[in-house]
Chain A
Amino acid sequence: MNAFVTEKTLPPADAKEAAEREVLLRVDNVSLTFGGVKAITDISFDIQKGEIRAIIGPNGAGKTSMLNVINGFYHPQEGTITWQGQVRRKMKPYEAASQGIARTFQNVALFKGMTTLDNIMSGRSLRMHKNFFWQLLWRGPAEREEIEHRRKVEDIIDFLEIQAIRKTPVGRLPYGLQKRVELGRALAMEPDLLLLDEPMAGMNLEEKEDMSRFIIDVNQEFGTTIALIEHDMGVVMDLSDRVVVLDYGKKIADGPPEEVQASQAVIDAYLGVSH
């Protein structure tokens, strides 16, 4: 039976093909300073639609600061950010969400007092509009809206295989599951760009494998563009289409994983840390 040929349409790997893809976000010559200390120096790179883009680098390389710049939490002193073809003005963090940027955090930032379900529901906040008076009444429009979004959230719960903890307060969950719930919360926003800040930090091997699978599935199933920060080089190389390497706030390499891995500057930077 050769009726089944598993021809998966994989994302284009080579740079030439990638260059033809649409650029979702471009960072040009961005520098960020905290009270005289330079966190990021003159960095430029872009994120293309549909790819998994990794930002890696040793501790203190400015990776998280870079994410914070992208979603408007920090405002760079120099440089421009172009989002979907438009140069972005200085914006408030909450505006990033409405522009379609979602993120997870290095140290899980879930809403501790709420259940898994409510946490993921909170990702739908921007898409729910029924006003205070409908909320007071509940019966009718507010309830219908809630149910409509609950259905979407249940899709995500199903997708992430966290049915069993649906009604558990997130504070009681083990760390690995909290990370998964946080991913679910970001997914609930149906973002164009998903920023993942060390999604696998503090996980064991099995949890890392699960998380990698989810990240790839998100990218392929929903076509979500993903930018992720990761410490673990191995994971990044398997997952990502292109990699940016930062060291001391500067970009030292940019390109497909194999290329970056072979770069002398990168090897030095990583060895320098371990020495």
Chain B
Amino acid sequence: MFYREAGQFKTSYKADQALFPILQDRVGLAVILITAFAVIPALANDFFLTSIMIPFLVFSLAAIGLNILTGFCGQLSLGTGAFMGVGAYAAYKLTSIFPDANVIVMVLLSGVFSAAIGAVFGLPSLRIKGLYLAVTTLAAQFFLEWCFIRIPWLYNYNASGAIEVPRREVFGIIATGAEATPLARYFIVLGITVLIAFLMANVLRGRIGRSWMMIRDMDIAAELMGIRPLQTKLMAFAVSSYICGVAGAMMVFFWLNAAEPSSYSIRLSFQVLFMVILGGLGSLGGAFMGAAFIWILPVILKFVPGLLGFDLAAETVEHATFMIVGALIIFFLIVEPHGFARLWQIAKQKLRVWPFPY
């Protein structure tokens, strides 16, 4: 309906292979980016930025990370939380060791550590597949969580056992610590998320992205076509963990300000996995949609009783939220097991062929 593709023809492969070959999609994307970079900062209050947008973006990035591994390369992981934790602790140590360094660079660098650790835990994936692989990643989850508790060096021997983000400035603006404004944090988080999402879109449409999907769709055929399974899977583990690590670091540096080992527990792993599954395996856009659903829905649910005039205890609301989210997850899995991305695809296809049904 809104798609009017007549007259959009490609005279070069460059144009044909563009990320968004359809004009209307490019316009849509531009609108979203303008909203994110201009409209929201101009209109949103601190609460909206801190409680909704920043965590949403952090989770979106984490979901992209997990999606690379699970959605694009077909390797199930339950260790996302821990890999995020590695990023967080690495960034914390880096800023402690290099207090004058640019904190954004440190955050981006922290992902390298989680990438390395992710690759190590990815090694068994050569022999182990499916649910069995989940055990490997569970081992990573619990082992790393244990490390966060038992290795005091990681949290600078704090009495509390938690990491607290110090105040750091970037180009004269306070970027981290309690005094950092939500707006500054928002822009940093948005910038990093958009940048990584864009870079990943590039990787996914090229040789490497294809090799991941080959392994996912038919590993034996992929191997017989010259794809080295271990190398390819390890790369997916590393890239995925890198992104999760950066997301984990952003989570503590630009959102929570402080974190303890339990922040990166198995619960977080599941939360991100849900975002990926509900958003749609193998879709970058889906990662954003899944993150929005899993993060923003409970926030909204918390306000619903108040808006309706009920006066309920905070606890009750929280429990009800849990129930509703659980029920909705099951509901959406039943309605569309391929996630919101598929729903969007179907809707888009409908709009493209409108008024025809197919």
**Which residue numbers of A lie inside 8 Å of B, CB to CB?**
71, 73, 92-94, 96-98, 102-103, 105, 109-114, 118, 121-123, 125-126, 128, 130, 132, 135-138, 142-143, 145-147, 150-151, 185, 189
Contacts and interface: CB of A to CB of B under 8 A. Distances in A.
Given A135-B208, A150-B17, A110 B225 contact: no
Interface stretch (B35-43, B95-103, B214-222, B255-263): B214-222
SS of B interface (majority): helix
Interface residues of B, number: 31
Contacts of A123: 225
Contacts of A109: 218, 220-221
Interface stretch (B159-167, B226-234, B310-318): B226-234
In order of increasing CB-CB distance, the 8 nearest A-B pairs are A97-B226, A111-B217, A138-B202, A126-B226, A109-B221, A128-B207, A147-B13, A135-B206
Contacts of A147: 13-14, 17
A96 B224 contact: yes
A181 to B, nearest CB: 12
Pick the most buried of A98, A114, A136, A150: most chain B CB atoms within 10 A of its CB.
A136
Contacts of B26: none
B131 interface: no
Interface of B: 13-14, 17, 199, 202-203, 205-211, 213-214, 216-218, 220-229, 235, 239, 282
Contacts of A92: 223
A125 B203 contact: no
B202 A125 contact: no
B206 A142 contact: yes
Given A111-B214, A136-B199, A126 B225 contact: yes
Given A105-B221, A109-B220, A135-B202, A125 B17 contact: no
Contact of A137 (B202, B213, B225, B227): B202
B221 A111 contact: yes
Contact of A125 (B205, B207, B235, B282): B207
Given A125-B211, A138-B206, A112 B218 contact: yes
Contacts of A110: 217-218, 221
B218 A125 contact: no
Contact of A135 (B207, B216, B225, B282): B207
A112 B208 CA distance: 17
Contacts of A126: 225-226
Contact of A94 (B199, B210, B226, B282): B226
Nearest to A188: B225
Contacts, number: 104
A125 B13 contact: no
A114 B202 contact: no
A94 B227 contact: yes
Contacts of A113: 213, 216-217, 282
B66 to A, nearest CB: 17
Contact of B226 (A130, A150, A189): A189
A142 B213 contact: no
A111 B17 contact: no
Given A97-B225, A136-B203, A151 B210 contact: no
B199 to A, nearest CB: 5
B203 A132 contact: yes
A189 B214 CA distance: 15
A11 B222 CA distance: 33
A94 B231 CA distance: 12
B227 A146 contact: no
A137 B206 CA distance: 11
Contacts of B229: 94
Contacts of B222: 111, 122
9 contacts: A71-B224, A114-B217, A122-B210, A122-B225, A126-B225, A132-B239, A135-B207, A146-B206, A151-B13
Contacts of B227: 94, 125
A98 B202 CA distance: 26
Contacts of A135: 202-203, 206-209
A126 B203 CA distance: 17
Nearest to A195: B224
B222 to A, nearest CB: 8
A123 to B, nearest CB: 6
Contacts of B213: 111, 113-114, 118
A94 B239 CA distance: 23
B202 A112 contact: no
Contacts of A137: 199, 202
Contacts of B223: 92-94
